[in-house]
């Protein structure tokens, strides 16, 4: 019985990974009456504390156990407990080193759990959780941040010699062995998992071995969105793949939507009031994620492109400088009739689900991609790093619901205002190609909602996954 199970979740300390894991915890506790323990650090626990407190008040069996990261030992300042608090990519290796040191404290936590743990669901960047699962004689499922298409593409480029055969970082190549024709540059394909240092080479090697030892793969996606790729990923990894999303659709209350991931940088009610005054499908939402550091010059170009488009917009800006803050004051005055600027975290799912929103400028992080799909809106793609370039190709070439900001200019890092204006106008167009994209996006949005409903593919997959865990536990007990 699912109600006898105790899931232990290890979310990666990064918003794009933590947010869906918290949703998964609540789905397991709510729909399947399982006990759930989330193991994380104090800073990260604070980010989703209100959500968990509401779940506990609703009588869900969820608890959060906080472990201290040994930051000083690895040379990181106090409070640097999340990848979005670390000033440069070069320091990521130090956070990984600190995460490795949580194995023994985590083992002590598991020993004291009551009821005892039945299954570990951990991010694939906690390779030691496979050893932990073996010690406790329980299954371990690995959680994959991106969807099946992107993870299959990453698997292909990391497990073949394709990148060694391409000379220039700017050269395009076709990803081999998949159904759709997908072209990316060498730089875009290798941006995820850069392994220049000895420590990172070792880490990725351990991650690969740990994944091979896992008992299944959990993906925040849904069967109807990428049916071929679910199947192909399962073959490539030789594992069962459970698509149980979009998990963001579990959030239905105003508070769960507005506080999902972090406290918003705007009063949620003010945001909704602003949107209520706009025509249906007339507003474009602009948000480039929690990790992208956009240059001051790029902020100017992005803002001017939105201004030139004449389209009403909500623009979420995470990082500003003294120079950009000064510029934004004048800018906000100019666009105040049709533009709303949010500094800091934005209640993204709440905004996207509003009827006034008709398009989304996104960095193509997988959470944002899936939230855009779930809202049924077409997207302007603006990838910055890592798996985002493959997600962009998925949006444009597979789903056919997107337009790239770099479509007519791949030459530089800076995206010019004219390109932004053109991309926004194309995605908001209600005729021709724009109409086709819009209709396709709406269809995917309906599919997403059906997948999460009782009897839907993701709801059914979660039941199958739980049944599989019960069977694995019985097998492990028999063997011992």
Number of domains observed in the structure of the chain: 2
Residue 154 pLDDT greater than 70, yes or no: yes
Give the max Cα distance, the chain: 71
C-alpha 314/C-alpha 338 separation (Å) is 9
Confirm whether 172 is domain-assigned. Answer: no
281: left (phi over 0), alpha (psi -120 to 50) or beta: left
393-428 per-position pLDDT tens digit: 999 999 999 999 987 555 557 899 999 999 999 999
- How far from the centroid of its chain's Cα atoms is residue 20's Cα? 7
456 in the same domain as 445 = no
In a shared domain, residues 464 and 408: no
Give phi and psi for 418, each to the nearest 5: -65, -40
- Owning domain of residue 368: 254-449
> Which of 409, 419, 423 shows the shortest CA–CA distance to 359?
423
162 in a domain, yes or no?
no
What would the 3-class secondary structure string for 194-207 be?
A: CCCCHHHHHHHHHH
Backbone angles phi and psi of 380, in degrees to 5: -95, 125
Percent over 70 (pLDDT), the chain: 93
- My answer on whether 322 and 340 are in the same domain is yes
**What does the pLDDT look like over 117-139, one tens digit per residue?**
999 999 989 999 999 999 999 99
Instruction: Tell me, yes or no, whether 443 and 458 share the same domain.
Output: no
- Give per-residue pLDDT as tens, 32-63: 789 999 999 999 999 999 999 999 999 999 99
Q: Give the pLDDT confidence score for residue 480 in this predicted structure.
A: 62
Examine the domain organization and report whether 197 and 235 are in the same domain.
yes
Cα–Cα distance list, 188 to 273, 333, 410, 470 (Å): 40, 37, 12, 40
Residue 161's pLDDT is: 80
Residue 175 belongs to a domain:
no
Q: Is residue 48 part of a domain?
A: yes
User: Are 119 and 263 in a shared domain?
Assistant: no
Strand partners, 403: 380
Domain CATH number, residue 207: 3.40.50.2000
**Is residue 163 in some structural domain?**
no
The pLDDT assigned to 151 comes to 93
pLDDT of amino acid 462 = 95
Q: Which residue has the higher pLDDT, 204 or 175?
A: 175
Q: Does one domain contain both 389 and 456?
A: no
Alpha-carbon Rg for the chain, nearest whole angstrom, is 22
Paired sense of beta strands 402-404 and 379-381, if any = parallel
Confidence (pLDDT) at 93: 87
231 & 269 share domain = no
Same domain membership, residue 236 and residue 108: yes
- What is residue 408's predicted lDDT score, i.e. its pLDDT? 53
Tell me what pLDDT residue 195 has: 52
Regarding whether 263 and 224 lie in a shared domain, the answer is no
What is the C-alpha separation between 266 and 429, in angstroms, rounded? 29
> Is residue 364 domain-resident?
yes
417 and 285 housed in the same domain: yes
Q: Give yes or no for a contact between 136 and 110, defined as CB atoms under 8 angstroms apart.
A: yes
Which of these, 464, 399, 466, 455, lies nearest to 148 by C-alpha position? 399
Can you read off the two tokens belonging to residue 378?
A: 């077409």
Q: Tell me, what's the pLDDT at 410?
A: 55
> By mean pLDDT, which of 10-24, 258-272, 336-350 is the weakest?
258-272
The mean pLDDT value for 74-84 works out to 88
Kindly state the average pLDDT of the residues 182-192.
82
Residue 451 clears pLDDT 90, i.e. is over it:
yes
Average pLDDT over residues 4-18: 93
Q: Is residue 176 part of a domain?
A: no
pLDDT at 201 over 90: no
Average pLDDT, the chain: 89
- Are 279 and 326 found together in one domain? yes
What pLDDT is stored for residue 433 in this prediction?
92
> How confident is the model over 6-24, as a mean pLDDT?
93
> What pLDDT score does 107 carry?
97
Q: Report residue 415: phi and psi, to 5°.
A: -95, 120
In angstroms, the CA 123 to CA 18 distance is 9
Q: Has residue 174 been placed in a domain?
A: no
């Amino acid at each position: 019985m699912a109600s006898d199970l105790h899931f232990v979740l290890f979310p990666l300390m990064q918003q794009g990974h933590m947010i869906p894991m918290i949703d998964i915890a609540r789905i397991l506790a709510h729909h399947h009456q399982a006990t759930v323990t989330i193991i994380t650090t104090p800073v990260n626990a604070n980010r989703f504390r209100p959500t968990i407190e509401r779940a506990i008040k609703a009588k869900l069996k969820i608890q959060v156990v906080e472990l201290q990261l040994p930051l000083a030992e690895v040379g990181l300042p106090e409070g640097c407990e999340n990848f979005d608090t670390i000033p440069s990519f070069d320091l990521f290796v130090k956070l990984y080193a600190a995460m490795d040191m949580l194995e023994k404290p985590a083992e002590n936590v598991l020993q004291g759990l009551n009821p005892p743990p039945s299954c570990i669901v951990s991010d694939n960047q906690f390779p030691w959780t496979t050893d932990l699962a073996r010690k406790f004689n329980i299954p371990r499922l690995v959680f994959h941040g991106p969807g099946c298409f992107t993870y299959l593409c990453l698997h292909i480029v990391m497990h073949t010699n394709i990148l060694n055969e391409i000379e220039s970082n700017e050269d395009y190549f076709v990803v081999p062995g998949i159904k759709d024709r997908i072209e990316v540059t060498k730089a875009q394909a290798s941006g995820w998992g850069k392994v220049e240092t000895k420590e990172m080479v070792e880490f990725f090697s351990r991650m690969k071995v740990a994944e091979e030892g896992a008992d299944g793969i959990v993906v925040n996606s849904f069967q109807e969105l990428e049916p071929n790729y679910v199947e192909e990923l399962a073959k490539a990894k030789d594992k069962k793949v459970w698509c149980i999303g979009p998990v963001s659709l579990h959030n239905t209350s105003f508070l769960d939507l507005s506080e999902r991931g972090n406290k918003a940088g705007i009063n949620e009610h003010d945001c909704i009031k602003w949107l209520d005054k706009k025509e249906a499908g007339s507003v474009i939402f602009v948000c480039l994620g929690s990790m992208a550091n956009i240059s001051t010059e790029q902020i100017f170009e992005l803002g001017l492109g939105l201004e030139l488009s004449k389209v009403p917009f909500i623009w979420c800006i995470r990082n500003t400088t003294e120079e950009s803050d000064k510029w934004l004051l004048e800018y906000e005055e100019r666009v105040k009739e049709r533009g709303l600027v949010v500094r800091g975290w934005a209640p993204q799912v709440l905004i996207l689900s509003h009827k006034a929103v008709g398009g989304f400028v996104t960095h193509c992080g997988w959470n944002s991609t899936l939230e855009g799909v779930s809202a049924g809106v077409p997207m302007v793609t603006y990838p910055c790093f890592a798996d985002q370039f493959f997600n962009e190709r998925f949006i444009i070439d597979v789903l056919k619901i997107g337009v790239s900001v770099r479509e007519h200019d791949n030459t530089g890092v800076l995206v010019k205002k004219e390109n932004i204006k053109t991309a926004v106008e194309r995605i908001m167009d209600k005729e021709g190609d724009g109409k086709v994209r819009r209709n396709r996006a709406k269809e995917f949005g309906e599919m997403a909602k059906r997948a999460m409903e009782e009897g839907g593919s993701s709801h059914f997959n979660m039941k199958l996954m739980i049944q599989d865990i019960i069977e694995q536990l019985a097998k492990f007990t028999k063997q011992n």
